[in-house]
Chains A and B, each alone.
Chain A
């Protein structure tokens, strides 16, 4: 099973790539939309990158639930666990 901390760092990297913000600027509770200028296009870009990396498919209704890094980590963690079972 993937370690949550590893997952957090990987997803942080994705968000950093997409937003252009440095890793240090992305805290677990940083609001992606207000603080990292994540607009609708980048929200999709992050979702697509996550789906590709973890070979999962995020349901449309789950996308709005991703407001912070922690939300993204929890979502992916949950899905990977389900997949593993």
Chain B
């Protein structure tokens, strides 16, 4: 058989965490793999950028699921990068601040339970039961959460409205949904994999993660092409044949794995004609997750704070995720009444964010600076008086920025919206109507965030390797 240099076993569209992890496993298994990434650096959302002496994390600012036995730890050790990375962990990883409470999520679960129980002594036993249920590792007990909301789950254990809201607020800050909307399964996973086992950070910045993955991928024999936009997926007889790049460059491949936005994958790269009516109707009815408005502040050397550096803080001036959701959806950030922020470990910068609706380029062109300055005012008013005196650099990313760098539909931060009806839909991971096409990453309905995207990358690579072995064996017998 002719093996020209542009024929691959697998091509992966996008070097997000999902694509990189999938690529590492496939290349390690001996397959010839190409990753084509449109941006000039790997990572997707998980990147950092430099401005003067400051390094800012663009979007994700920490990761979870890295305990001994955690999914991300398993993946990093499988591909041999756990020892190469210098992972630091904030303790507490997360801090919830409201007008009357300041509650820490510690690295140690018992301490976290103690913190909550000190504020809500009547609920000590229930809090303990609930939190241990959230970290239960038995798959079947988790499966019970598939059809219900996180609110249903909280109602089952707790009566105190304030306590329920305090538990719901970090999820609102992260995903942009109130407990009455968010899937109980996703809410539980966020608690077990991102809050109770969260706060991990690669020394040097978030970009270190994709950079290390990319280097490992190349070491395993993989090929990574940056600034390389994929325009089409080639399909013949309902089977993928490869991809088309700019200038009509054709790359042939047995498997195509898309790490990019689902709508782009199906409507643009494949095209309406190649997808079934049922799937098309499903696709256009799906709702994406909320985007984010992110503030990046570079600070002078005199900046001091009593707040814990490296920890994620969730500040809210109320106890109603329902109310806040209504307003943030419309872009009324003042009434949303909250934000998330982190002072960098070295105290040189601040990352702060809030969920935000997509709107469009023109809207953000007109409103970015106003929203940014009002945001700084609120941080100053509520938690850091004098902050503006110490700012030497400021900039912000709007939902449009999120879209522009990653091509994620409407700058969605976590793929599809995490409501029960959009959980685990197999067609989004392995579309049944096109052979040898797979999806990885947060648009699959199988996992969100860095650890979720990595999980899907790992799992899909495993399925492809098994499938490939099976086909090769068949060929051998014939």
Q: Could you list which residues of chain A lie within 8 angstroms of chain B, going by C-beta atoms?
A: 20-22, 33, 38-45, 47-49, 60-61, 63-67
Contacts and interface: CB of A to CB of B under 8 A. Distances in A.
Interface in B54-105: none
Interface residues of B, number: 23
A63 B145 CA distance: 10
Interface in B97-148: 138-144, 146-148
B426 A63 contact: no
A44 B446 CA distance: 10
Contact of A44 (B185, B463, B466): B185
A44 B143 contact: yes
Given A33-B139, A48-B426, A49-B426, A41 B446 contact: yes
Contact of B146 (A22, A60, A65): A60
Contacts of A44: 143, 146, 185, 423-424
Contact of A63 (B140, B423, B446): B140
Q: Is the interface of A mostly helix, strand, loop or mixed?
A: helix
Given A39-B139, A44-B424, A48-B426, A63 B144 contact: yes
Contacts of A49: 426
Interface of B: 138-144, 146-148, 185, 423-426, 446-447, 455, 462-463, 466-467, 470
Nearest to B469: A22
A41 B424 contact: yes
A45 B470 contact: no
Contacts of B144: 60-61, 63-64
A65 B138 CA distance: 12
A45 B139 CA distance: 12
Contacts of A22: 466, 470
A43 B470 contact: no
Q: Is the interface of B mostly helix, strand, loop or mixed?
A: helix
Given A22-B470, A60-B146, A63-B144, A38 B424 contact: no
B447 A41 contact: yes
B468 to A, nearest CB: 11
Given A44-B185, A60-B144, A61-B144, 17 more contacts: A20-B463, A21-B466, A38-B139, A40-B139, A40-B140, A41-B455, A42-B139, A43-B140, A43-B142, A44-B423, A47-B143, A48-B424, A49-B426, A60-B147, A63-B143, A63-B144, A64-B140
Contacts of B425: 48
A21 B463 CA distance: 9
A63 B138 CA distance: 12
Contact of B142 (A20, A40, A61): A40
Contacts of B146: 44, 47, 60
Nearest to A38: B139
A45 B426 contact: yes
A13 B291 CA distance: 39
7 contacts: A20-B466, A40-B139, A44-B424, A47-B143, A61-B144, A63-B140, A67-B140
A48 B447 CA distance: 16
B143 A40 contact: yes
Nearest to A66: B140
B463 A43 contact: no
Closest 8 CB pairs of A and B: A40-B142, A64-B140, A40-B139, A20-B466, A63-B143, A43-B143, A43-B139, A20-B463
Nearest to B189: A40
A21 B144 CA distance: 24
Nearest to A61: B144
Contact of B462 (A20, A43, A64, A66): A20
Contacts of A65: 140
Nearest to A47: B143
A45 B399 CA distance: 32
Nearest to B464: A20
A65 B426 CA distance: 23
